[in-house]
Amino acid sequence: MRHLSPRAVLTGIGELKPQRRTQGVTTMELLMRVSAEAMTDAAIAPDEVDGLLVAPQVGETPQHVPATVAEYFGMQPTMSNMVDLGGASGPGMIWRAAAAIAAGQCETVLCVIGNHRNDPAPRSPNRNPAREFDTPFGASGANTSYALLMQAHMDAYGCTAEDYASIAAGSRANAQLNEMAIFYGKPASVEDILASPMVASPLHLLEIVMPVAGADAVVVTTAERAKSAPHPPVYLLGAGEKITHRAVSQAPSLTSGPLKPSMERALSQAGMAVTDMDFLSFYDCYTIMVAATIEDAGLAKPGQFGAWLRDNGGMGPDARQPINTHGGQIGFGQPDLAGGMTHVVEAVRQIRGNAPNRQIKGCRTSLVTGNGATMSEAVALVLGGDA
């Protein structure tokens, strides 16, 4: 199986159980815990890590984030950076780690991201076109912006509220197979989704992620060093990235986004088609995001995602192409920017063959997506194991 860089292997993963609130703990502590878990999983010592990728939202420091995290961890990396792509930051870290390894700047990279939820997060002032074209008309947050995208999609193609709600119901069903999910033990039917309060028409409450505290980490290293790892290798086969706008008012399209070219690039690099994917790990901050991704991936024609899901047999591990078996962020919870990394971690678990209670039979390949801002920052990865 051909992969993007013969030197890059995802060899360790860590994930903390989501919590609605945390007390007496800092983001840095959560990052440390999940990093230790990922390094243990990869069977490597901290002093073997010479690359560090982090996200910008570390509450203990507004700047010099990589240096602050490295100092706290007791690391002195030869490559470090901060990846600021919103929900796409996690997947964006993976291909950057592979690129740094291929460039000879490091051999083992820790990619870590997370957040605590003790107090309301401070909001930075709006210094982009949204201040002029969005906020004055009430589109001041993610809910209203994604509601606009969903309404545009419904109007363009005639999709029903039940079509979108089936995505949330499928996510909740998958969450019942994952004891770490915030909604474990709390299934929800399509009827339940549609009966939940309307937050921003046409978005219902249960079609929106629940913010939680948590953290995820992935270790990326060389194929040579991965030979001593305790788990089967998971290779980066292809990657794609695209940014088209920041404010939704500046979006070139309201029914298709930058994930379309990102997925095309990732699949092209892997020499594969989307129908070759055993598992679809799709970013799902809102139900409309999954709907648009299914269509942008070429799995269904515009407006036909609902029919495709029904023909697919739903989203569970026994579906033709399972989607978000860990519950997705809608069922698992969204630990802020780490939400995108949960999709990477689940893909690694599935390809390794150790996703308890939800293992996909014969899973060897996965398409992973990340999304930032309002369907504007996109990263797609193709991951695969040995045939």
Across the chain, mean pLDDT equals 91
Domain ranges of the chain: 9-118+210-385
How high is the pLDDT of residue 177?
98
How high is the pLDDT of residue 140?
63
How high is the pLDDT of residue 1?
42
How high is the pLDDT of residue 165?
98
- Kindly report which listed range (107-111, 130-134, 263-267, 373-377) carries the lowest average pLDDT score: 130-134
- 121 pLDDT more than 50: no
Q: Which residues contact 123 (CB under 8 A, 6 or more apart)?
A: none
How high is the pLDDT of residue 65?
86
Tell me: the pLDDT tens digits for 178-225? 999 999 999 999 999 999 999 999 999 999 999 999 999 999 999 999
- Taking a C-beta distance cutoff of 8 angstroms, is the pair 49, 108 a contact? yes
pLDDT band at 124 (very low <50, low <70, confident <90, very high): very low
Q: What's the mean pLDDT in 72-97?
A: 92
* The model's pTM: 0.88
How high is the pLDDT of residue 339?
94
Higher pLDDT, 89 or 65: 89
- 88 pLDDT more than 70: yes
Q: How far apart are CA 323 and CA 83, in angstroms?
A: 26
Nearest to 291 by CA among 146, 91, 191, 89: 146
Q: How far apart are CA 82 and CA 197, in angstroms?
A: 37
Q: What's the mean pLDDT in 159-179?
A: 98
Q: How far apart are CA 103 and CA 260, in angstroms?
A: 28
- 29 pLDDT more than 70: yes
- Kindly report which listed range (77-81, 139-143, 290-294) carries the lowest average pLDDT score: 139-143
The CATH-assigned architecture of domain 9-118+210-385 is 3-Layer(aba) Sandwich (3.40)
- Taking a C-beta distance cutoff of 8 angstroms, is the pair 270, 384 a contact? yes
Of the chain, the percentage scoring pLDDT greater than 90 comes to: 78
Q: What's the mean pLDDT in 13-40?
A: 91
Tell me: the pLDDT tens digits for 256-276? 999 999 999 999 999 999 999
